[in-house]
Structure 1
Amino acid sequence: MTAFGSVFMPEMALSEFNGEHWSEPKLVASDSISLHPGAHVLHYSSTCFEGLKAFRHGDGSVKIFRMNANIARFAQSSHMLALPEIDSAQTEQMITMTVRRFADQAPEVPGSLYIRPTHIGTEPAIGKAAGPSATSVQYVLLSPVGDYFSGGADTTLRLLLEEDGIRCAPHMGRIKSGGNYASALLPTLTAKKEHKVDQILFCPGGDVQETGAANFLLIDGDTLITKSLDSSFLHGITRDSILTLARDLGMTVEERSLSVEELLERSQKPQCEAALSGTAAVLTPVGTLVHKGKEYSVGSGKAGPLTSGLRKALNDIQWGRAEDKHGWLVSV
C-alpha cells in the first residue's frame, strides 16, 4: 500500500519573493526547486505549510474544502515566523490553478487531492540566526490520497498520555511549522516502540492538549469537550468544522481546559467517545488511553456512533452529498 502523501502530481504552482515583490505564479515541475546550501530554511527552520483537500463530487466537479480558512492560517504562520508576507489572493490563485490543472485526476471519494501550500525562507545567510530571510519561495504541491490511518473510519487508536513532555514551544503551537512536528517525532517513535501506541497525547502538567499531528476531542453523551484555543496548540480547521457541525446537531460544545484526571474519569463511562481531528485524520476514533502503565478503554473501546455521525456529516458536505450551509466549498 502506498504511504499517505508519498505520491505527487508532476507539476506544482510556484512564486518567488525577491525581497520586494512576488513573481507571477507559474506551474513548474514538482522537483524543480534549487536551494543554496546556506538557505535560511535549512539552518533556521523558516518554513510553514498548510494541508487542505479537494474532493470529486458525483457530478464530476471538484471542490476545495475551507480554502479561505487555510490561507488565513498560512498567512498567520508566515507572519509569526517573520517570513515575507504572503499575498493571500495570489496564494488562492496558486491553489486553484494547481487543482484545476489536475482536476481530472482527482480520486473518487473517499479519496481526495491533498493540497500542500508551503512557504520557505531562501536567503543564503547563515549569519541570520536572529534575523528573518529577506527572500522566500511559495509553492503548492498536490498528492492524491486515501485514508491517513490504514483502517479508515473503523480504526481505533491507542494514545499515550504524556504529562511531562510537550509537543513544541508553547508560544509556537498555533504555527503550522515543520519544526513543531519534528520536535514531537522522536518522543512519538519512542512511545510507539515502548508502549505499542499510535500517538502521544501531550498533556503538559496534566493539561490535555493535542497529539503530534491532530487535535483531540472528547464526547460524553451529547457534550463535546476540547481545549479552548490558545497559542500552545494548532487551531485546527477540521476541529473548527467538527465543532460547528456538533452545534448544528444540537450538541453542547465546551471549549475549555480538560485535565488528565477528568479525561480518565469520563473515559470509563459506557457512552464516552474520543477522537482525533485533522485534515488527514478527518475524525478518527480513539479506543484506548495508556497512562502510567495502565490501559483505559474509552467507552466500549470501539468507534462510537457520535464520532461516526460527525465524521459522516463532515464527509457528506465535503463529498457534495449534503447542503453546504456554511459556504465551505470552493469550485475550481
Structure 2
Amino acid sequence: MRNFLLLAVAILSSLTASTTIVQAAPRDKEAATAIGTATAKQRRAVLANVKTWGYQLRFIEPADVAASPYDLVVIDHAISANRRFLREFTPDEVAAMKIRPDGSRRLLLAYLSIGEAERYRFYWNQDWYLAPTRPAWLGQVNPRWDGNFPVKFWDPEWQRLIFGTPDAYVDRIVAQGFDGIYLDRADVYAELIEDNPDGKRDMAAFIVALSGHARRSNPGFVVVMQNAEELVANKTLRATLDGIAKEDLFYGVEHVEKANPPEMVAGSLADLRLAKKSGLAVWAVEYLSDPQLARDAELRMAREGFVFLLTERSLGTLGSVLPGPQPVR
C-alpha cells in the first residue's frame, strides 16, 4: 500500500509538471495526443490501486480527514452551516488532508454537483428566489433535498458558473489543490428529457468540456462521475472519465433498506462492467445499517471487483473501512 501511495505522489507530481509541455507545443497535435494518452493511463493506474475510500460532505474536520486511513477521500470543497456557504478550504488545508498519518499520500477529490444548484454554494444569489430575477435555467426545489434545485445544465449561463473563469466552480477547486472532482447529478438529464430530448448527449459533452478545461491546468486532474452509469456507453465520455461511483447498487434506491428490482440491478451492472472493462475504476456506496444486507452487498461488490464503501446517507462521517474480501483484480 505504501508503494502505491509513493507511486501516486510521483505520478501526480509529474503530471502537474508536464502542464507546460502541453501548453508549449499546441500545434504538435501528435505529441499533444501522446501526452494526453499517457496521463490518462497514469491517472487510471493510480486509481486502480485505490482499495479503500471515504466520502463525507457534512461536518468535515481537516484533522479528521488527515488522520483517516483511506487511500482516497471525497469531501466538499467548502464549509457550510445552516444551509449557508461559509468558506472554502484553504490550499494549506487541502494539502494537509492529502497526507496520511504515516506521511504517505492519499488522493483528495472535491464533490461537485453539475445537475443541481445548491443554495449553500458560493455562487448562490438570494434574488434567484424571486420570479423577476430567477434564472431561466433554475428549476423547482428537489423535494428529497431541501435547498437543491435541478438545472437546465446545457444552458451556457449555468456552465459558466461551473467552469471557464477564475471564479467558476471547477477553476476554484483546481486552484485549491484538489487532485480531482467527483461529479454528482449527471443523471438529472433524465428528469429533464421533455425540455431537452438530447440531454443524454449534452450531459456527456458537458462533462467532457469541463474535464478538458481542468486538465489544461493540471493534466493529472482526476474526474469521477457518480451514478448516471448509462452514460458510459458514450465512447468519448468513457475515454474522459477516470472512474465511476454508484450509489444504492443493490439496496435502497427508494431510500429504504430493501433490495432493488432485479432488472434495475442488472442494467446498472452491465454499464458498470463496461466501465471496468474499459479501464475505469469502479466504486460503490451503500447506505445500510442492517449488517446482513451490508455483508451481502460487500460480497457481491467483491465479486464484481468494485471498491465498496458502507456509510450513512447524510454523509456526516467518512464511512466504514470494512474487513473481508478485497475486490478481485
TM range (shorter): under 0.3
TM-score of the aligned structures, taking structure 1 as reference length: 0.24
**Bigger share in strand:** 1
Q: Which has the larger share of helix?
A: 2
**TM-score (norm. length: structure 2):** 0.25
